[in-house]
Structure 1
């Protein structure tokens, strides 16, 4: 079920580093094709068609596998075959380091969120793609402004392939909540009047939980929204007070969706994708509604393509051609999917009318007419950097809700 795949732990690189480096997962079958690229010398095309092994630790294949498969179909002289594997973010660094240590890097492409990207950068695991190959990745020039800012977070090591504004949003069933909160103060008052009925998942394990944590400083007018140590006085005070009326914090987002559906929770924190996709899947009732809180800013998110060091020159040549193809408007339209990362495209001028009919039907039925205006009319902020988000997660675990997290 797609919604369940989103419970992959999305935490920034430094936080998971100890866990990741401890996971020495064995390498997969097969061997690198062709010699490793030396001094950045990568041919324009592979010397022979490659078998490309793709590892997804972000649920990104839901959005991009169709793009990859079409490239392979159209370019058998570049990629003869693709194998797909999936893993949790905590396994990523251990898996890549094991292959690099053995001198057999079989994974040619990793699809990751900001968590795995940052962890790999800190460990020196990724090839530096930019600016060396900027001419081969010219479609990056077509990014939406907010996606371009997410690309800035990747530095020179990753390429943004999908993007969404994320949240934070509140979600509720209108039959249970006739007058939903419109401010942070009203949300707190609702929680106080209905103990246990406002819910969000542990931020270190949940995209919506993390987005709520990073979005509150804007909503509350804190002095330093990017500084959880010195700039979040109002945020930590608010979360401390809200914690008094929260019974438990699910360890992943999917449980919050189930709790909303079964009546355990009246109001949960969500994002555009977590609103649309669970309703497509039937996890959440179709009539669920969403809203924003006064002072709302979007906290954006993205998925990235990265190449492990040690990938052969032929693999790298193939990946560069593939990613350039994935960033065409025609292929980006597939990122609408079933609303999983809504909207999904990272490049400009990709309308829903360009998407596959299945995506058009899902968005027509389960999308929100108000989202277009919300996306256009509200500020979009990049997430905290790796160091800051680690600090925020640690403080939340120690001082806010760690003792109440469901095991």
Structure 2
């Protein structure tokens, strides 16, 4: 019997017990479909994280803060000893934290492997005014990355009194669209240490879109505008107020040396995080969920493999005389083994192809639905992203499991004695 005949005979034999075969194929289908969906989810989410890391900031940037930022509560805790060398920054929520001082900035600059260091002032505006409406305002950390996801316009230009607003703010500020907001002027009102207020005109440079890094939750000013607002914020005091920074952005000469630099920062009482570090926990959680779902899918495939074993063992039992006749007519044991192995592979192929195709179709549909609904706040996120090599690998893995499952029945069929088999009732 030639190879083509073996394949044809295997397909025909598989279709004899249709109900049994269909149930086994369904089990394989479920496992293959689940693996396809979890693989697509892992690819889609991790690709979005990679894009976020690449666009949010320079991969060689470290964002440095004090190691233990929270130091006191305005109520409910005992008094803290005064430290004239510390720089405390009030958040406005009854909590203060230690900011970076000029000495800390100098320490960062002195670390081998660190180039430019840009400290970030903590600015607390009184309110933002657009037209006749007033809004509470918390400013985001100034960024200069051109890769920040924008709905319109660009990030605030250095040297200009500009800020970029989130896309969720457009309607509330009275603009009809992100395009209409770009170029408009809003007012930021600041209160200094003497209780005096001053209005600063700010041009809207662009409208940002949401991302996992949270870059667009608050309006983002240019660095120079942020410093100008801070200068007024600390003015009016009879005594000079020491400079304090909420954080500092340090550019490394080589991103590969982040570990040693972070270790030196820890020794100096500071902590430095890259964007990848900040998103690392999210990536870890997602990957853990994906692995758990993959484990469930693999368990389903193992159960399907047991179904294949059961289906083919019953087939061998029912076709004992047929096997004896084939061997009596000169069919060798290896060919009998090949025949039953092909039946197992055919069952696996049906389940794998149907499961993978259904998984891709379902994932593509869900991606479109979620992008317009639940995940609308994260534009650019394709929850399920499918890659042909991975789909092919899943199908190959399922076929391998099917072949392995069919080995036991195939060996049993190949070893049957033709005389004993022909006498079987």
Point out the structure with max Rg over C-alpha: 2
TM-score w.r.t. structure 1 length?
A: 0.20
TM-score w.r.t. structure 2 length?
A: 0.20
